[in-house]
Homo-oligomer: A and B are copies of this chain.
Amino acid sequence: MLHMQNLLLITDIPGYSPQISRLISMMNYARFTTLEAVKDLTQAELDYLLDAKSNSIGALLLHFAAVEYAYQVSTFEQRELNEEELLIWGPALELGKVGQEQIKGHELEYYLHQLDEVRNRTLEFFKSVNDDWLDTEEDFWYEKKANYYFMWFHVFEDELNHRGQIRLIRNRLKVK
């Protein structure tokens, strides 16, 4: 993880423009808390379902990588996910029943590796753009315009939302 020494500073990061730096600072802290929330979990714990409707912690972790990948594609490559990518990321994007069926049996390292790979790609992409890029607007939810700053804010606000759920599930694990 980049710049852990500045974990509690939303500030400039060498190699990135000012607003991009602040965005990355927030993404870094969100990710730090995610990693803390899943530390030392076993495969059985990562697969655990609170109830029939629940997402496993493993599926939520892969969801973070999938969402981030999807926004790389939409904002940096300005396209939709292709069929091959949907095969890889579809269950993690969708969660629910398909996530329960298809995302399981992995150790923590598997998820952490996926998260790192995707995050490193984001950090490379961000080097290529500047603050003006964040102001780019596109049609989005509720028949409103969203800008790229919002879309990347959404990437980490979705992670924070599910991190809250991970903490709740972790406190109620009933596996050895």
Q: Which residues of A contact B (CB under 8 A)?
A: 7-11, 19, 22, 25-26, 29-30, 51, 53, 134-135, 137, 140-142, 144-147, 149-150, 153, 157, 160-165, 167-168, 171-172
Closest to A147 in B: B9
Chain A contact residues: over half helix, strand or loop, or mixed? helix
Known contacts: A19-B22, A29-B150, A153-B29. The answer to whether A9 contacts B160 by CB under 8 A is: no
Q: How many copies does the complex hold?
A: 2
> Is there an interface contact between B165 and A10, defined as CB atoms closer than 8 Å?
no
Please give, as numbers and ranges, the residues of chain B lying within 8 Å of A9 by CB-CB distance: 137, 145-147, 149-150
> Is there an interface contact between A142 and B8, defined as CB atoms closer than 8 Å?
yes
